[in-house]
Amino acid sequence: MKFIKDEKLNSYYFLFGDNEVFKTEFIDEIKDLLKDEISDTTTFIFDLTDKDNSFTVNDIIEKTSTPSFFSKKNLIIIKEFHKLLKEEMEKLFYFLKDIPEFSNVILTSSVDRNEFKKSAIDEISDKYVFNFSNKNLYETKIWVQEYLKKYKKSIDTDILQYIIEESNTDMSLIKNEIDKILLWIGDRNEINKEDFNMLRGGEKEYSIWALTDAIGFKDENKTFAILEKIFDDFEPEVILGSIFQTIKKIYMVRYYVSKNNPKKALEVMYYNSKALEIVKKQVVNFINIPFVEILNIIMEADRKVKKSGPFNAKIAIYVMLERIFLKLNEKDKDKSKLIKK
């Protein structure tokens, strides 16, 4: 979705609401528009929820007021700004009226605009304010349709409404469901109800997502039982791709948690905290195994699947899973270094 219609940037923006997907895409759009003027070294993030990195409003103002020697502009991102004390917020809002031309500022808050009671923002023009709420179904539907257009896909409006309702209007869950379906439908152009029903892993005992969950939890018996049930319903490439994507997410979460970066780990899971907690439990099973070892096993299976008929492709996937479980069982020790929940 394109948020800045005329591509003319304001000096600052306020992003309210619980729709983290939209806020992330808005920031990415700003970065893209400023790609020739900013760099990683001139992009600064001040996060009010980060207790390990304390700062004051004076620090924000100083950074915003200091030109860079390396790029034309600074990009300042202030997360959860509503947590500022009243005096600090008023000081920051006063500064926003006269931001140096070499800086752009984005202020984000998980609070809905209508719930933000600080009088200081009443003076801010609406053109600087965006409210991204999961309850805004109109914008959610537009986003999904535009997202699918990038892949030359479409979706029946009734099915989209069904996905939104089943996801409890949570944008991160909706995006996750759409991505699953895109993987499933392959070259087909339209998403139908059967696609969604087939992939509802959370409610079906035998589904492709139940399969990948079983692998993540190192449940060997359940994995092979599910695979036997569903193999004929899916192309071997879809099964293989789903397994790879699940394991890739496990390793990405493992990496960010090991680097004490829970926010990036949450981003990997589309800001779904419940899904993140599940994957963190799965990380335990892969904690001592280098990603490259699992990747090599999957790549070898992929080569065999591409050269095989259905029967041999099934054998290749079975052998792959047996080798993965062998790795998991071989290195299932030394758990004193496990990540904290």
Q: What is the pLDDT of residues 235-274, one digit of tens each?
A: 888 889 889 989 999 999 999 999 998 888 888 876 777 7
Q: Is residue 79 predicted with pLDDT exceeding 90?
A: yes
Percent of all residues in the chain with a pLDDT value above 90, rounded to a whole number: 47
Question: Which structural domains are found in the chain, ordered by start?
Answer: 12-131 (3.40.50.300), 134-196 (1.10.8.60), 201-333 (1.20.272.10)
Q: What angle do CA 56, 340, 175 make, to 5 degrees?
A: 75
Q: What is the pLDDT of residues 84-106, one digit of tens each?
A: 998 999 899 999 989 999 999 99
Q: What are the residues facing 154 on neighbouring strands?
A: 190
Q: Please report, for residues 219, 282, 286, 318, the alpha-carbon distance to residue 226 in angstroms, rounded to integers and kept in the order given.
A: 11, 18, 21, 12
Residue with tokens 């800045």: 4
Confidence of residue 341 (pLDDT cuts 50, 70, 90): very low
Closest CA to 21 of 270, 293, 292: 270
d(CA 201, CA 220): 18
Q: Is the pTM of this model over 0.95?
A: no
- The 10 Å CB-count burial string (b at 16+, else e) for 81-118 is bbebeeeebebbbebbeebeebbbbbbbbbbebeebee
Q: Is residue 337 predicted with pLDDT exceeding 80?
A: no
Q: What is the pLDDT of residues 222-233, one digit of tens each?
A: 999 999 988 887
Q: Is residue 203 predicted with pLDDT exceeding 50?
A: no
Q: Is residue 338 predicted with pLDDT exceeding 60?
A: no
